[in-house]
Amino acid sequence: MVTPFKSNEDLDLDAFRSNIDYYVENKVHGLVVGGSTGEFATLHPDEHRALIKTAVDQVNGRVPLLAGTAYCSTRYTVEMSKFAQDTGADGLLIVPPFYNKPRDEEIYQHYNAISNAVNIPIMVYNNPFTSKVDMKPELIERLSKLQNITHVKESSGDITRLWKIRQLTNDKLVIFAGADNLAFESFAMGAKGWICVAANVLPRECSELYELAVLKKDLEGASKLYNKLLPIGNLLEDSGLFAALSKAGLDMLGEHGGKPRRPMMPPGPSELEQLRSILKTFGKVSK
């Protein structure tokens, strides 16, 4: 989920609640608060806690809710993870510490400390594009032996990683696709879920792709829908403007997007025109 801000960059929790209802009404199978597209790295800890608390309250058990709780510090990641658990989140999504480029042993001890501190499922998140830390399948396999590490979101862009992780862990971990333009390929390689940026704008269509590919095993139908969704997936992945474009798309749909928090800026005219053109193909905007 994106994090809506007011014009003065304060949290807009009313807009956030409205977006949650929009997602749930459009048949998403779960939600993530405080992830990369939610601009978690720009949030004050008090804001972070307010988002998690608001999300738990507004979702009200209608779908599973994952809380992103990542910080560069193990101490603060543990603290926010315990808060999310105590508040009622169903699980945690945690990217490894960034900026300092930790070594594998440091990453392992980081997740070990978190696993020992909570009793809800943890999805480790490999996103080297953003975090600049690449957790290779061998490290993922080691992490899978920790008690509460049950899922992995694989966003390296290397589709062969899914096969390697499945082989190394003997399918112990539930793999979620993390790239919007590799979803179908990831499902074909054994991914059981998809954390999808485009679902901020096209929640029903992205949910349908998952249902066709994973639940119904209708690869022909899934492939047809995927080809229609690929333009927005490619636009997001190629530009890297995940939060900004998602927010612009929500605004185009009459939902609550707004601007990203500085230093990030709204998309330019070219990206906005591409986005509007894509939404027209789904009958979402008329002009």
CATH number, domain containing residue 222? 3.20.20.70
The mean per-residue pLDDT over the stretch 46-63 comes to 98
Residue 285's pLDDT band (cuts 50, 70, 90): confident
Q: Which residues, in sequence order, are bridge partners of residue 124?
A: 94, 152
pLDDT given at position 129: 86
Residue 131, domain member (yes or no): yes
Task: Record the tokens describing residue 199, joined without a space.
Answer: 């679902």
Is 85 within a domain? yes
Cα–Cα distance for residue pair 96/102, rounded to 1 Å: 8
In a domain, 283, yes or no: no
Q: What is the maximum span of the chain, computed from C-alpha positions, in angstroms? A: 53
Q: What is the pLDDT of residues 202-250, one digit of tens each?
A: 999 999 999 999 999 999 999 999 999 999 999 999 999 999 999 999 9
The per-residue pLDDT for 100 is: 85
CA R_g for the chain: 18
What tokens does 143 get? 């992490």
For residue 171, tell me if it sits in a domain.
Answer: yes
Long-range contacts from 158-164, C-beta under 8 angstroms, 24+ separation: 159/185, 159/186, 159/189, 161/126, 161/137, 162/186, 162/189, 162/190, 162/191, 163/189, 163/190, 164/137
Q: Decide if 125 is catalytic.
A: yes
Helix ranges (H only) for 88-182 are 104-117, 128-131, 137-143, 160-169
* Pair of tokens at residue 286: 């008329």
Q: How far is CA 38 from CA 47, 259, 268, 277, in A?
A: 12, 12, 20, 24
> In the chain, pLDDT over 70 holds for what percent of residues?
99
Q: Which of 125, 210, 247, 259 is catalytic?
A: 125
Structurally, the chain folds into a number of domains equal to 1
Element (H, E) at 176: strand 174-177
Q: Which residues pair with 92 in a beta bridge?
A: 67, 122
Give the active site residue among 53, 153, 247, 259: 153
Contact indicator for 16, 256 with CB cutoff of 8 Å = yes
Active site residue 153: yes
Residue 212 within a domain: yes
**Residue 57, domain member (yes or no):** yes
**pLDDT for 61:** 98
Q: What per-residue confidence (pLDDT) applies to 40? A: 97
Q: How confident is the model at residue 130 (pLDDT cuts 50, 70, 90)?
A: confident
* Residue 251 forms part of a structural domain: no
pLDDT band at residue 283, thresholds of 50, 70 and 90?
Answer: very high
As given in the structure block, the two tokens for residue 239 are 């530009």
Q: Would you tell me how many other CB atoms lie within 10 Å of the CB of residue 240?
A: 11
For residue 66, give the 3-state DSSP assignment: strand
pLDDT at position 286: 64
> Would you say residue 242 lies in a domain?
no
CA–CA distance, 200 with 256 (Å, rounded to integer): 10
Mean pLDDT of the chain: 97
Element (H, E) at 93: strand 91-94
Residues 287, 284: Cα–Cα separation, whole Å: 10
pLDDT digits (tens, 9 = 90+) for 184-205: 999 999 999 999 999 999 999 9
- Tokens representing residue 90 in the block: 């169903």
Q: In terms of residue numbers, what domain contains 178?
A: 13-227
Q: Quick one: which of 56, 40, 49 has its CA closest to 79?
A: 49
Residue 14 scores a pLDDT above 90: yes
Residue 131: pLDDT over 90 = no
pLDDT for 287 equals: 58
Query: For 84-118, what is each residue's pLDDT tens digit?
Result: 999 999 999 999 999 889 999 999 999 999 999 99
The pLDDT value recorded for residue 202 is: 98
